[in-house]
A and B are shown apart, each in its own frame.
Chain A
């Protein structure tokens, strides 16, 4: 029965993602992307997805980490310049993983759509990982479904599942590492976990920092202390030392890549010379030295207060506005700490590391974006605590109604983001541009009948209005969530 239910939810979630995936039919060329698909509501509306997709294209078509000039043009302003060649200013891992998806879709003229499906694929895996971790922490199956659905549809995770962003992949690495570490320990699992830590560097150079609490948890569980009347013994299984090979392998591979491409063992893409644009003669316009990125300046401690307020309370990026369901996680923290102390410390520690890092981030807004995109991994961890809260308060009608209400709100807002645009300016820029700075902008786009949904634009445009399309999806999500939530007590 449980397997059947899991299959049902996976199919349901996949279906929702198929309906909301951003894209257009065809294998877009660089000039099509540059001329037609850079505008609001189109799949390449923002530079993060353009940049990563450009490298995927280059790898698939030219087998090169360096971009042809026509491809390079679509990447600005995230374009790097090295030894007269163009490359991406962000880590290459996401683009490399996107190649099989690209190649899979290309023969069917769906290269872009299938590549954009990769984050959705990982989002589904993240849902399964949330179920797995909840199971490891002895949280009920249905509560974990509630947590998982909350993460996928009632947070900004939704909008970043259907576009070509790295957040689901980062979340996958974090959740799978946690799941491996919470399982029965053996050297293979520890080795894979270590490998995933190293792999995270391929996705975003700051990612390994997020794993520090999980690494500490791993070390803590491997090293044992025993005391008797005469001696204190600290010991560990020597074979666990082999697990370090995992991280060596992943980082060694990165070093090899960096050495081959940049002649340096650890070149951070973000610190390369940056190209702002191209001039009329197609010559690159290099950013001035003062605007070039400096690794040490990625994090700005003076701005922590501002970053905190932005990510929590601000109208444009505060999770209070975009994913208030996350607050419910607070109700589960105490109980989970009581029941599973060490694991809870590792999970909360991870959340704190991610949060503190992004409060220091020079641009906590995440550029033009829908909601707090950097907090997507935190939302996944919060889902585990939401599940715990569901178990704890399942008999309380006020709790169920509150959770349901927050889910409905979150799903309405985030579905709106998923099917319209991520091109939402932060308030500081929006005011000057005379634009809106939160999901009210998505609402305006939606009211104009503009959607980024590949499925709607390709197959349903003539059959039903965008309003109906939106309502069908929303009602389906809410119905499934509501059914799961309110049937909990009966099935407990």
Chain B
């Protein structure tokens, strides 16, 4: 009710009404958060789809191709999931990837990221609520995460970061809830999410180990060694199943359980090349590893949220109102930070920061892994600082606004101009213009040129690559019977196609170099040999 009288403007609210409103708010705010996150997610996807940035990362195109190969190609099937990347993101694409539009628009992969974005935002809300944080703190925490331009960009792509963030945050959330309640169902849920995270990226494996230690510590203190051992085995049965299956998969498909770690397409093999080229400066250099990851974190989260998050962490750790078990279990939120530094230090990972590692970016997106943690800590801080909260929120809005006007997303730079991008448009464009409407297969290494395969717009079944079994074997020993076109980096043995066909008589005599591009060359079979080519997938179904 509004009253104006005696020069005073009054707004009168019945306390009952306020109570009811508060109850309604409590009941419906979760839906409102979910609705807002979904709306932002969809709008941002369309924005990045329209401007073409959604597919700027080469890795995004490769992920989409892996998913596509499972359902379409010369040798479709689950084995196409391969070993280069962990399989969950590609498995989740399968329901959508069969559709050409969903494949080439990137939506088949982005929808997984988008759902993960909504889920992670909501988990941050729930996390803060369970820490006893009020509405403003909870919403600020969600805002810090959801408005981060790097997060918004990655959720609009077929990259794996958002799915990893979601599964890890869910795992940690349930782990903390288990520490609070000791309800076994919470532990099962935590194990489930952590198991999924181990199938997204190896960051999840580190979380699995960390969670194991936390569980042992928690139960040992309360119930002793036997109970701790039992609980750990119980937890690991589900939580470690993803990792165990991955070893099994590698054994079944590639004949070596460590193929993913030591195989020719493994990160280890790539890192070895970088090491030989002198580009793995962080290896055995702890200070540089910390510095590089800190800057990745800084550029991905922004100075203001990061600073506020650090202050929030201090408040959190010194607070008497937060139980010791919650504090200890929440340390799992820090695992991405520790894991990434260790990965850099041991040379398992590579990350370039412009200005620190020459004039380029590479894998700087790894810094987003701490954004949910920072968001939770900022939300917690907002709850604690009472009257300063409006100022801090004002500053956050201010900095966020200008990050948008500046288009300040380091991940976009990484995708567009960093080492993560390769300009494949010339090669792909040539294929689209000259091969799409003609018969014949293209021999190409997917490990080296997946982005070309994607960008060419040709169906997957037009390509003979490493995953096509007998087609690949036949085409690399006698290309003149199978490949009308060959796309490869000439004189580069790291390109499997070149390595295998360079000495074949067919390649030497029957092909002509048609186009030479900085990124790859295109060869075409000479017209007089066209008659000897196979134009149909005559080898049939393969095992």
A residues sitting closer than 8 Å to B (CB atoms) are 209, 212-213, 216, 227, 229-239, 296-297, 299-302, 304-305, 308, 341-342, 345, 348-349, 352-353, 356-357, 359-360
Contacts and interface: CB of A to CB of B under 8 A. Distances in A.
Contacts of A209: 398
Contacts of B491: none
Contacts of B410: 302
Given A236-B8, A239-B7, A231 B13 contact: yes
B12 to A, nearest CB: 5
19 contacts: A212-B391, A213-B391, A216-B390, A227-B15, A229-B15, A231-B13, A233-B10, A234-B13, A235-B9, A238-B7, A239-B7, A299-B402, A299-B406, A300-B408, A302-B406, A302-B408, A304-B399, A349-B391, A359-B303
Contacts of B394: 212-213, 216, 349, 353
Contacts of B434: none
A341 B398 contact: no
Q: Secondary structure of the A side of the interface?
A: helix
A235 B4 CA distance: 9
Nearest to B388: A345
B13 A301 contact: no
Interface residues of B, number: 30
Contact of B406 (A227, A238, A301): A301
Contacts of A238: 4, 7-9
B400 to A, nearest CB: 8
Nearest to A342: B387
Nearest to B410: A302
B262 interface: no
Given A230-B15, A238-B4, A297-B406, A345 B387 contact: yes
B359 interface: no
B454 to A, nearest CB: 30
Contact of B299 (A213, A227, A302, A308): A302
A270 to B, nearest CB: 15
A183 B398 CA distance: 29
A305 B303 contact: yes
B374 to A, nearest CB: 15
B193 to A, nearest CB: 32
Contacts of A302: 299, 406, 408, 410
A299 B11 contact: no
B311 to A, nearest CB: 12
A230 B395 CA distance: 37
A349 B403 CA distance: 21
Centre residue among B390, B395, B402 by max chain A CB count within 10 A: B402
Nearest to B394: A212
A234 B12 CA distance: 7
A232 to B, nearest CB: 5
A341 B399 contact: no
Interface in B1-46: 4, 7-15, 18
A230 B18 CA distance: 10
Interface of B: 4, 7-15, 18, 298-299, 302-304, 387-388, 390-391, 394-395, 398-399, 402-403, 405-406, 408, 410
B301 to A, nearest CB: 11
A231 B11 CA distance: 10
Contacts of A348: 388, 391
Given A341-B387, A353-B394, A230 B14 contact: yes
A239 B8 CA distance: 8
A232 B303 contact: no
A179 B15 CA distance: 37
Nearest to A353: B395
Contact of B399 (A212, A237, A301): A301
B1 to A, nearest CB: 9
Given A216-B391, A342-B387, A345-B387, A301 B402 contact: yes
A359 B399 CA distance: 10
A356 B7 contact: no
B15 A231 contact: yes
A352 B403 CA distance: 18
Contact of A297 (B398, B403, B405): B405
Contacts of A213: 391, 394
Contacts of A212: 391, 394
Cβ-closest 10 pairs across A and B? A296-B405, A349-B391, A304-B303, A299-B402, A235-B10, A301-B403, A234-B11, A301-B408, A232-B13, A345-B387
Contacts of A352: 391, 395
Contacts of A236: 8-9
A359 B405 CA distance: 16
Nearest to A305: B303
A325 to B, nearest CB: 24
Nearest to B307: A308
A414 to B, nearest CB: 28
Nearest to A298: B402
Nearest to B9: A238
A360 B399 contact: yes
Contacts of B405: 296-297, 299
Nearest to A307: B303
Contacts of B387: 341-342, 345
B411 to A, nearest CB: 12
Centre residue among B15, B387, B403 by max chain A CB count within 10 A: B387
Centre residue among B8, B390, B406 by max chain A CB count within 10 A: B406
A235 B406 contact: no
A235 B388 CA distance: 23
A296 B406 contact: yes
A213 B57 CA distance: 41
A297 B405 CA distance: 7
A321 B391 CA distance: 28
B303 to A, nearest CB: 4
Contacts of B398: 209, 353, 356-357
A231 B399 contact: no
Contacts of B7: 237-239
Contacts of A357: 398
A27 B403 CA distance: 46
Nearest to A227: B15
Contacts of A349: 388, 391, 394
A442 B321 CA distance: 54
A182 B181 CA distance: 49
Contacts of A299: 402, 405-406
Contact of A304 (B4, B302, B388, B390): B302
Contacts of A353: 391, 394-395, 398
A209 B395 CA distance: 10
A307 to B, nearest CB: 8
Contacts of B403: 301
Contacts of A301: 302-303, 399, 402-403, 406, 408
A228 B451 CA distance: 68
Contact of A356 (B9, B10, B399, B408): B399
Given A233-B10, A233-B11, 13 more contacts: A227-B15, A237-B8, A297-B406, A301-B402, A301-B408, A302-B408, A304-B304, A341-B387, A353-B394, A356-B398, A357-B398, A359-B303, A360-B402
A231 B15 CA distance: 5
Contacts of B395: 352-353, 356
Nearest to A308: B303
Contacts of B388: 345, 348-349
B300 to A, nearest CB: 11
Nearest to A304: B303
Nearest to B403: A301
Nearest to A219: B390
Nearest to A231: B12
B437 to A, nearest CB: 41
Contacts of A233: 10-13
Contacts of B18: 232
A299 to B, nearest CB: 4
A296 B407 CA distance: 10
A12 B542 CA distance: 96
